[in-house]
Structures are given as C-alpha cells and as structure tokens.
C-alpha cells in the first residue's frame, strides 16, 4: 500500500503516518506547513517522502499522487472558531481543497480515499447520543464545510464508483496538538495553561460536553479504514460524554493540583453537546479505542 497522507505533518496526520509506517506502508506526505511541522515526522525513513504543497493546487496534488494506491485526506483548516472569523479561507481549504484531492484521486485511479469529516456536521442534536443517521444542522462554517465534503463524497461514489469513507472524528487530543494558536483544541490549550501556572480559560459555563478520543487510537482507526472497503461515513470517538468542568477535574487529578479557572464569554458557532454511538465504528472498522481519558491526559502532560 502506498498512501498519500495530506496534512501528514499535523497532529492527527503525524500519528497516522507513524501507524502506517509501522504497518509496512509506503507513505507520501503533502502539507503546506500552515499548522503542521516537519519536526512532527521522523527526520528520515526509507518509506517516507515529505512534499511541501497546497491541496488547493491540482498540479501539486497530482504530483504527490504519483504511485499512490490509497489516500488519507486530513489537510484542512481545523478550527470551528477560525471558520467563524474567516469563512472564506476556511472554505477554500475545506471545500475546494477537499474537492481537488478527491478529484485528483479519481483521475489517478486511486483504489481508496479515507478523509476527515467531523462531529461538527451534526450541530444541534435532535437527540443524543448521535448515530450516523442523525440529522445534520451545522452551527458553524466549519461544520457546513465538512457536511458538504460528505455530500461530495457520496456523489463521487455514485457518479464515478469511487471508494470513499468519511470519518466523523469527535474531539481528538494528545501529544503534538499545537497549543500556540487561540484557535487551538481545548485540551492542548488547557495543558499549556496548566504548565504555565495560568488560569484555564473556559468559554461559556463549562457545562458543554464533548467526546474526547486519544490521537493514537484515531491513528489506528485511520489504518483500519484504509484497509476495509466500506463507504459512507462513520463516527469515531469513545462513546463517553465529558463536560469541560469534568475535564478540568481530570486534568487536576492527573497533574496533582487544582487548576485555576477563568470563565470567558461563550464562543460563537460552538456546539453545546456532543456524544456518539460507537456501533457502526465497531462494525465497519472493527475498532474499539483503548485509551481512557486519565491515561491519555497523563501521556499528554508527561510528553
Ligand atoms: P492540524 O492543524 O494539526 O492538521 C492539519 C494539517 O493540514 C496541518 O499539518 C496543516 O499544515 C495542513 N494543511 C492545512 N491547510 C493545508 C493546505 N491548504 N494544503 C496542504 N496542507 C494543509 O489538525 P488536526 O487536528 O490534525 O486535523 C486533521 C483533520 O482532522 C482535519 O481535517 C480536521 O478538520 C479533522 N478533525 C480534527 C478533529 C480534532 O479534534 N483535532 C476532530 C474532527 C475532525
Ligand atoms: C474540535 C476540533 C474540530 C473537530 C471537532 C469535532 C480543534 C481545534 N477543533 O472542535 O476540528 O471537527 O472538535 O467535534 O481541534 N474551549 C474553551 N477554552 C479554550 C478553547 C476551547 O472553553 O481555550 C471550548 C470551546 O468553546 C468548545 C470546547 O472547549 O466548547 C471544545 O473546543 P475545541 O477544542 O476548539 O473543539 P471543537 O470546537 O469542539
């Protein structure tokens, strides 16, 4: 298997590259290094090629696809809050970029494409927990972009017979999630604030809930998804529902001290509650996440 991993220098991407190399695959990374880092990847590996390029550039995508049998498409603008602040940049990466990659894969007759969708597509849940048949009412440009991607993928499968699977990740956390940006994922921000002895900044009342899944588990799910031939979309999470206040308590337990907390105004576009059913994930991917929240937080705090 020769896998093109777009966004392979990023957080989920670099762990996925590691898992693919361990599984014996040949790997090509295409990344514009806007948030990803070369240092997230092994400095040298006989089965790894790293290319700098933009997924919105059809020629760069075609060149990176030469010889690829599979694509793991992860490159994107990943922040819900950034998509509210700059919806145009977000859509060029998340819709035009997505389309350029799946169309490039079609032209290159790649066997299979697995791509990152998101729990953000569900938006306001009619009921919890969410299964894949739940209605989608996105609350942010980001959620809408990922939903459009799912619709493009279904259309390409029907029109061209392409093999595509979208993974609706819930909230992924772990080592290498960059805390630097104000748009960074909540656990990476809280871990950095805790290390600096600063108060943890909670947007809203802290009672919003998320399903936090450890990145090495997600990397395993990605490998399983490339190896199966199911289409459509699959939720990827743990099935647990954790509020930010519960998360802060867990971080305090793992760090051995009680964090200070500051409450800021709620973030526009934010989902209130998120929880998934793991049935399809188990059936389609044969995948069960193995890392409990405290274990994953300890791995992050001691990385
Ligand atoms: P990340 O920012 O670490 O990774 C994104 C990577 O894509 C980076 O390496 C970045 O440099 C690259 N990139 C961005 N725009 C690009 C472009 N135009 N051309 C080439 N490369 C580009 O974020 P991540 O958390 O690893 O996210 C990976 C994927 O998973 C994204 O599609 C994201 O939407 C999705 N996702 C993430 C989560 C999560 O909780 N982290 C949850 C659901 C879905
Ligand atoms: C995250 C991912 C998104 C993914 C989605 C799936 C990132 C940056 N975003 O979005 O790619 O598609 O999960 O569910 O990885 N918060 C604070 N304080 C902070 C930062 C955040 O209180 O300093 C709050 C947010 O308002 C939100 C929650 O924490 O309520 C989670 O935020 P965030 O980590 O940015 O994730 P999502 O927006 O859920």
> What are the tens digits of pLDDT across the range 2-46?
999 999 999 999 999 999 999 999 999 999 999 999 999 999 999
- Above 90 in pLDDT, residue 191? yes
Strand partners, 235: 168
How far, in Å, are 41, 52, 69 from residue 30 at the CA level? 12, 6, 15
Preceding amide of 180 cis, omega within 30: no
Active site residues: 142
Tell me what pLDDT residue 136 has: 97
How many Å separate Cα 241 from the centre of its chain?
Answer: 18
Instruction: pLDDT band for 228, please (50, 70, 90 cuts).
Output: very high
Helix (H) or strand (E) holding 2: strand 2-6
Residues 148 and 102 sit within 8 Å (Cβ to Cβ): no
What six digits make up the tokens of 171? Answer: 């909230």
Tell me what pLDDT residue 21 has: 98
pLDDT digits (tens, 9 = 90+) for 235-272: 999 999 999 999 999 999 999 999 999 999 999 999 99
Residues 50 and 72 sit within 8 Å (Cβ to Cβ): no
Instruction: pLDDT band for 100, please (50, 70, 90 cuts).
Output: very high
- The stretch 53-62 carries a mean pLDDT of 98
Q: Which atom of ligand 2 is nearest to the CA of 143?
A: 12
Distance from Cα 212 to the centre of ligand 2, integer Å: 10
How many Å separate Cα 104 from the centre of its chain?
Answer: 21
Pinpoint the residues of the chain covered by CATH 3.90.25.10: 173-209+241-274+293-301
pLDDT digits (tens, 9 = 90+) for 166-183: 999 999 999 999 999 889
Pinpoint the residues of the chain covered by CATH 3.40.50.720: 2-172+215-238+277-285
Q: Which atom of ligand 1 is nearest to the CA of 172?
A: 40
CATH homologous superfamily of 173-209+241-274+293-301 equals UDP-galactose 4-epimerase, domain 1 (3.90.25.10)
pLDDT digits (tens, 9 = 90+) for 68-80: 999 999 999 999 9
The proportion of the chain whose per-residue pLDDT surpasses 70, expressed as a percent, equals: 100
| Pocket-testing residue among 186, 202, 214, 261, ligand 2, by greatest number of atoms within 8 A of Cβ | 186
Angle at 94 between CA 200 and CA 153, to 5 degrees: 125
Instruction: pLDDT band for 297, please (50, 70, 90 cuts).
Output: very high
Closest listed residue to residue 74, CA positions, set 31, 104, 108: 31
Tell me what pLDDT residue 219 has: 98
- Above 90 in pLDDT, residue 303? no
Domain 2-172+215-238+277-285 annotated CATH 3.40.50.720: yes
Distance from Cα 185 to the centre of ligand 2, integer Å: 5
Closest listed residue to residue 79, CA positions, set 87, 69, 71: 87
Distance from Cα 93 to the centre of ligand 1, integer Å: 10
Residues 1 and 112 sit within 8 Å (Cβ to Cβ): no
Burial (0-12, 13-18, 19+ Cβ within 10 Å), 161 = exposed
The proportion of the chain whose per-residue pLDDT surpasses 90, expressed as a percent, equals: 97
112: left (phi over 0), alpha (psi -120 to 50) or beta: beta
């Amino acid at each position: 298997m020769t896998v093109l991993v777009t966004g392979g220098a990023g957080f989920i991407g670099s762990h996925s590259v590691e898992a693919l190399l361990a599984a014996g695959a040949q790997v090509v990374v295409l990344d514009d290094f806007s948030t990803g880092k070369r240092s997230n990847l092994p400095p040298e590996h006989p089965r790894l090629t790293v290319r700098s390029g933009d997924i919105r550039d059809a020629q760069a995508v075609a060149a990176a696809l030469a010889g690829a049998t599979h694509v793991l498409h992860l490159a994107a603008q990943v922040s819900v809050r950034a998509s509210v602040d700059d919806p145009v940049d977000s859509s060029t990466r998340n819709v035009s970029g997505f389309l350029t990659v799946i169309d490039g894969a079609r032209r290159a007759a790649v066997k299979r494409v697995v791509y990152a969708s998101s729990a953000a597509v569900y938006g306001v849940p009619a009921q919890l927990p969410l299964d894949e048949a739940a209605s989608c009412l996105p609350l942010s440009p980001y959620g809408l972009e990922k939903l459009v991607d799912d619709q493009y993928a279904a259309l390409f499968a029907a029109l061209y017979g392409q093999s595509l699977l979208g993974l609706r990740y819930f909230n992924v956390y772990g080592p290498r999630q960059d805390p630097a940006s104000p748009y960074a994922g909540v656990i990476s921000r809280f871990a950095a604030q805790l290390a600096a002895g600063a108060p943890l900044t909670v947007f809203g009342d802290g009672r919003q809930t998320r399903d936090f899944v450890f990145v090495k588990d997600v990397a395993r799910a990605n490998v399983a998804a490339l190896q199966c031939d199911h289409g459509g979309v699959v939720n990827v999470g743990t099935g647990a529902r954790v509020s930010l206040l519960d998360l802060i308590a867990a971080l305090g337990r793992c760090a051995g001290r009680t964090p200070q907390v500051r409450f800021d105004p709620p973030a526009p576009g934010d989902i209130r509650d998120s929880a998934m059913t793991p049935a399809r994930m188990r059936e389609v991917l044969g995948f069960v996440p193995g890392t409990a929240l405290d274990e994953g937080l300890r791995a992050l705090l001691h990385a």
